[in-house]
Amino acid sequence: MSDLRLVVVGAAGRMGRMLTQTIPDTLGVRLVAALEADGAASLGADSGAAFGLQPTGVPVTSDVAAALSEADAVIDFSTPAATAAIATAAAKARVAHVIGTTGLTAEDLARIAEEARETVVVRSGNMSLGVNLLAGLVEKAARALGPAWDAEIVEMHHKLKVDAPSGTALLLGEAVARGRGIDLAEHSARGRDGVTGPRKPGDIGFAALRGGTVVGDHTVIFAGMGERIEFSHRAEDRGIFARGALAAALWTRGKAPGLYSMADVLGLTGA
Ligand SMILES: NC(=O)C1=CN([C@@H]2O[C@H](COP(=O)(O)OP(=O)(O)OC[C@H]3O[C@@H](n4cnc5c(N)ncnc54)[C@H](OP(=O)(O)O)[C@@H]3O)[C@@H](O)[C@H]2O)C=CC1
Ligand SMILES: O=C(O)C1=N[C@H](C(=O)O)C[C@H](O)C1
């Protein structure tokens, strides 16, 4: 079988650079285009050498249509606005879209749902095996414990992260909500400050810390009467997200259009 032809969106970013480094070590994939925004300083430069990596022979471009015209899949860790634009272009070009971008609005998500009618989309707030396994355990715990155990989700990330709560925190919140059979949007408590009053029964709380170079720490706390259970994941290296995204891109081959998750890719649905 021929190599899967890949486009990387946000090639100059932390995840874009990690993907550029990881692709040559991954069997069955080949980089064909590296996208950055119009006006980016790196346009035209080699997408490896420009960022201190091994040369790729692939120049950085902002021409989305040309990039997608020679691709099988696009891996996208960028910004919500860029991801929404790529969703439209990938749907038109029938190119699979692996979305790691977080901070997406309800409108962005609606655009992605539309895209998934035309092409294969894998979206996850966290592409790592560890977090997706953890989400299954958290769902089971939430189901077993019930709403009497207060669920709080604490996350910490590097100081350059721009969205909160993290995509992973929301993914874990969804897991708690699924376990309890409730809608997360109706039971979220975000950013408590001032005289908040006592905790509302059944809420799922979120707290976000930012600082230094932390790759991504998440803890789900179930606080009961006189005891506490905690589920934690610590990301030590962005390679876990890049490898997950590449596994997702390979998995899209031959799949029917639709919106899939990393649980689908990893075979964890119903686990
Ligand atoms: N799901 C997961 O497993 C993970 C998700 N993420 C998420 O991925 C996203 C990116 O993270 P990270 O790499 O750390 O962020 P960075 O800010 O380092 O990278 C984002 C890159 O996208 C570029 N970009 C902006 N607009 C466009 C555009 N129109 N076309 C192409 N590229 C564009 C940015 O360029 P410029 O700087 O010039 O704006 C930047 O180079 C975030 O939402 C983050 O939360 C991160 C890690 C794992
Ligand atoms: O911005 C990051 O860095 C990360 N973003 C994702 C998130 O929002 O959860 C995944 C990971 O935690 C790193």
Given the DSSP bridges, would you call strands 150-157 and 216-223 parallel, antiparallel or unpaired?
antiparallel
pLDDT at 271 over 70: no
| CA of 214, nearest ligand number | 2
Q: Looking at the annotation, which residues are catalytic?
A: 157, 161
Which amino acid does the sequence have at 94?
A: R
**CA nearest 151: which of 103, 111, 202, 77?**
202
Q: Give the Cα separation of 256 and 158 in Å (integer).
A: 37
Which amino acid does the sequence have at 111?
A: R
**Rounded alpha-carbon distances, angstroms, from residue 100 to 57, 82, 91, 165:** 25, 12, 17, 15
Q: Which of 76, 83, 102, 206 should be mutated for ligand 2, with most atoms under 8 A from CB?
A: 102
Mean pLDDT, the chain, integer: 97
- pLDDT tens-place string over residues 48-69: 999 999 999 999 999 999 999 9
Ligand 1 centroid distance, CA of 195 (Å): 36
Ligand 2 centroid distance, CA of 103 (Å): 10
**Above pLDDT 70, what percent of the chain?**
99
46: tokens are 């080699």
User: Which atom of ligand 2 lies at the shortest distance from residue 161's CA?
Assistant: 1
ipTM value of the model?
Answer: 0.99
107 contacts: CB under 8 Å, gap ≥ 6: 84
- pLDDT tens-place string over residues 123-173: 999 999 999 999 999 999 999 999 999 999 999 999 999 999 999 999 999
| CA of 98, nearest ligand number | 1
- pLDDT tens-place string over residues 242-259: 999 999 999 999 999 999
